[in-house]
């Protein structure tokens, strides 16, 4: 269990069922985190939707749970497992900023400088990069249309879809699906207007995260991301990773160390061998407390 002084919680008031939570963010990408390693009752979709709601819950862009590592995870050195749920209750396979926030908690709990976590897509290695900075290694990134997945075979380096200024995109998979579009003037791209058409295009049977990127120079780019199921986020770690990878694949950037500037701040991406990336950035705490859980099941 998470037990550092920083994360210790006060005694709860008497409630039918209560779960302690921690709220964190990575560049204003907000997460509600529950430690479920000793939980006996399952989460349901209604719980997740309610907890993530800014009106009736804690408020967050995703809900994260700490779980016990599986036997396979333990064999690969995993300290714990993480599950990631979107605000509609659907589970997803990856989130870069969430991984950094969770890694920080587990680094603090374990007292180590490196930690391995088990995610739906496999194990992820994380390490301290500063007092409140964490590096995580993600990937490998795939551009195989079946992996993403797409509904039909197309050239994933040049997607045959367009929505306003979002044209000639690149489709990639990094535990979750992304489409990245490069533009000359990022500020002129209205993501709320144009990105939903891409997100819901029949080419993407499971939907897609939509990024718009502007290359600044050989070592940096700007990025905005529209996330499934329909959120314009301040930061997206996997989105920054695939945008840097896509810029390199297109020949728009030649450096393997790329600064990605998002509305919430900067992430540093290093392109490694085999399609993997190392993402480094800050994490921060918002609050902690108790949230009502379900009384069914």
Which sequence positions are flagged as catalytic? 95, 236
Which residues, 6 or more positions from 140, have their beta carbon under 8 angstroms from its beta carbon? 274, 275, 276
Structure tokens at 251: 């020949």
Residue 279: its H or E element? strand 277-282
From 282, 287, 285, 286, select the one nearest 131 (Cα to Cα): 282
**In contact, 124 and 157? CB cutoff 8 Å:** no
From 249, 237, 255, select the one nearest 275 (Cα to Cα): 249
Give the separation between CA 157 and CA 247, rounded to whole angstroms: 11
C-alpha distances out from residue 20 to 2, 251, 290, Å? 11, 47, 4
């Amino acid at each position: 269990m998470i037990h550092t002084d920083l994360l210790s919680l006060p005694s709860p008031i008497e409630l039918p069922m209560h779960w302690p939570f921690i709220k964190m963010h990575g560049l204003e990408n907000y997460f509600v985190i529950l430690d479920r390693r000793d939980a006996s009752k399952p989460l349901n979709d209604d719980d997740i939707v309610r907890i993530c709601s800014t009106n009736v819950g804690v408020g967050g862009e995703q809900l994260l749970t700490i779980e016990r590592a599986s036997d396979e995870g333990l064999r690969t050195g995993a300290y714990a497992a993480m599950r990631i749920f979107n605000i509609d209750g659907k589970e997803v396979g990856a989130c870069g900023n969430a991984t950094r926030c969770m890694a920080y908690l587990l680094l603090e709990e374990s007292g180590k400088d490196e930690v391995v976590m088990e995610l739906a897509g496999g194990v992820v290695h994380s390490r301290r990069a500063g007092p409140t900075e964490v590096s995580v290694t993600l990937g490998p990134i795939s551009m195989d249309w079946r992996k993403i997945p797409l509904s039909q075979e197309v050239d994933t380096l040049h997607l045959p879809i367009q929505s306003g200024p979002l044209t000639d995109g690149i489709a990639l998979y990094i535990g979750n699906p992304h489409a990245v579009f490069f533009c000359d003037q990022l500020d002129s791209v209205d993501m709320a207007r144009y990105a939903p058409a891409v997100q819901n295009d029949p080419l993407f049977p499971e939907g897609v995260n939509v990024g718009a990127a502007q290359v600044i120079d050989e070592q940096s780019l700007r990025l905005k991301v529209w996330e499934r199921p329909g959120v314009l986020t301040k930061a997206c770690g996997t989105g920054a990773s695939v945008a840097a990878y896509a810029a390199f694949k297109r020949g728009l950037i030649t450096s393997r160390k790329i600064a990605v500037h998002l509305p919430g701040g900067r992430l540093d991406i290093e392109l490694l061998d085999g399609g993997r990336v190392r993402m480094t950035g800050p994490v921060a705490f918002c609050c902690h407390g108790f949230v009502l859980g379900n009384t069914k099941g």
